[in-house]
Amino acid sequence: MRNGEVSYWWQARGVPPRRPSLPGGADADVCIVGAGYTGLWTAYYLKRADPGLRIIVLEESFAGFGASGRNGGWVTAALPGSRARYALHPRGAGGVRDLERELRETVDEVARVCAAEGIDAGLVKGGSLSVATSAAQDARLRRQLEHERAWGDGPLVVRYLDKDELAERATVTGATGALYYPDCARVQPADLVAGLAEVVTGAGVLLYEGTRVTAISPGRARTAAGDVRAPYVLRATEGFTAALPGQHRTLLPMNSSMIVTGPLSDAAWKSIGWDGCETLGDEAHAYMYAQRTADGRIALGGRGIPYRFGSGLDHDGAIAACTVAQLGRIMRRMFPVTAEAGLEHAWSGVLGVPRDWCATVMMDPRTGLGWAGGYTGHGVAAANLAGRTLADLVRGVPSPLTTLPWVGHRSPRWEPEPARWAGVHGLYALYRTADRLESASRSSRTSLLARAGDLISGVPH
Ligand SMILES: Cc1cc2nc3c(=O)[nH]c(=O)nc-3n(C[C@H](O)[C@H](O)[C@H](O)COP(=O)(O)OP(=O)(O)OC[C@H]3O[C@@H](n4cnc5c(N)ncnc54)[C@H](O)[C@@H]3O)c2cc1C
């Protein structure tokens, strides 16, 4: 089994040859740091709105090296953060509903651009299944449904599927029911980010790879080769942000780990079903997420080792043997027939988590500095919406996007070490134990340990 090598997604499509590095100091109208979805979508919408703009994107490694080339491939409309927190914005609950509606429409926008630009990322909009595999999880699903209804989301946005209705879509061992959200698509993440990089460079955006930005200040991004000077400098480094000067406590680099099976036989697929290619996750506290891949495998992810001391980052995505074993157990428990296909690849990546678990799109017109990120694991669609929003903010064009409640949102900073490490590891230890207790019990009550975890995280998840 391969481990690391950035991700299965990249190995499946082949890592492209590196683009040139920044040759020396340069001037631009907009400089973007980081070539993942956030940076590339921002460049895409800016260039479309104003083809004359000189845009430089600086990327430390290669476009899609980060979470954008490693993720679970859920183009999900899920809100990156807590409704209650966003509702503290002056626009209140109405603003939150607008943000959620924009996120739902973003799933179609990603599909539209893929079709219009010829990006073949295996996108299928089959919706998303959140399955319950214990009585406590099922009770949470039902409470979640009530919560969605209270926010005004009707059956077109989410509905409950009982065991039989779920089985018509997919056979998941031990599942008792599910919530179904139609606004979600599956993609091959690296195909999406690679296609996007091709499109923006084809439109005239200068993308320099192998170019690390060492500092960002108003009007400039510093690199070893020289500075890029631009009135607007946008940070799009999500899970890597902590490595930049002054940003150590802005976003916590949370690990997420994935495994993928070998191709499943026709007989295996017949027994599982899953013909709609819905994305599929569970309601555990340390939840799993999965997709049926375009090449007939199951890719499944979960938390693994959640966080490295001092906001440490990985480089090639290799994961610990215990994490592979843990994810493999989940795979075999939910989809026992996958045992015949075995596991072929395991990898991980970092996503950015703000202290209040709410994402931000920020643009300071005084300094020309902007950034977006902190999508807490829901960044694939959100980065598109953030990119469109940043493009409007840079151009100074008021739009329905520029008043959404995540614009200008300020999250508190993370605690210094060792409190940060202890808090995150303690949180996930509690969640894992709570999951074990709930699985072993017939009780529909959420474990008190999970509630203690929610108190540590500060946000009900
Ligand atoms: C394993 C995993 C599974 C996930 N699954 C899902 C999912 O299914 N659905 C979903 O919605 N979200 C998911 N996410 C989250 C989602 O992938 C991210 O939120 C999203 O890709 C972030 O995009 P980004 O462009 O902001 O950051 P990234 O894709 O991380 O890009 C940041 C880029 O900046 C570059 N960079 C960093 N520092 C510098 C520097 N100093 N100078 C120059 N360049 C720099 C990096 O090399 C990187 O290429 C997952 C994340 C992971 C890790």
211 Cα to the center of ligand 1, angstroms:
17
Closest ligand 1 atom to residue 352 Cα is 19
Helix (H) or strand (E) holding 343: strand 343-353
Residue 61 identity: S
Exposure b/e, 3-29, CB count within 10 A at least 16 = b = bbebbbbbbbbebeeebebbeeebebe
Measured from CB, residues less than 6 Å from any atom of ligand 1 are 33-39, 58-61, 65-68, 70-74, 76, 212-213, 236-240, 244, 256, 258, 289, 301, 348-351, 373, 375, 377-380, 383
Prediction pTM value? 0.96
Ligand 1 probe mutation, 60, 247, 250, 347, most atoms within 8 A of CB: 60
Please state, in angstroms and rounded to a whole number, the distance separating the CA atoms of residues 407 and 361: 5
422 Cα to the center of ligand 1, angstroms:
24
The pLDDT of residue 459 is: 66
Please state, in angstroms and rounded to a whole number, the distance separating the CA atoms of residues 367 and 380: 28
The pLDDT of residue 313 is: 82
Closest ligand 1 atom to residue 350 Cα is 53
Task: Characterize the bridge pairing of strands 213-217 and 360-364.
Answer: unpaired
- pLDDT tens, position by position, for the chain (461 residues)? 999 999 999 999 998 899 999 999 999 999 999 999 999 999 999 999 999 999 999 999 999 999 999 999 999 999 999 999 999 999 999 999 999 999 999 999 999 999 999 999 999 999 999 999 999 999 999 999 999 999 999 999 999 999 999 999 999 999 999 999 999 999 999 999 999 999 999 999 999 999 999 999 999 999 999 999 999 999 999 999 999 999 999 999 999 999 999 999 999 999 999 999 999 999 988 889 999 999 999 999 998 788 888 888 877 899 999 999 999 999 999 999 999 999 999 999 999 999 999 999 999 999 999 999 999 999 999 999 999 999 999 999 999 999 999 999 999 999 998 988 888 888 888 888 888 888 888 888 888 888 888 887 776 54
Closest ligand 1 atom to residue 62 Cα is 49
Residue 194 identity: A
The pLDDT of residue 308 is: 87
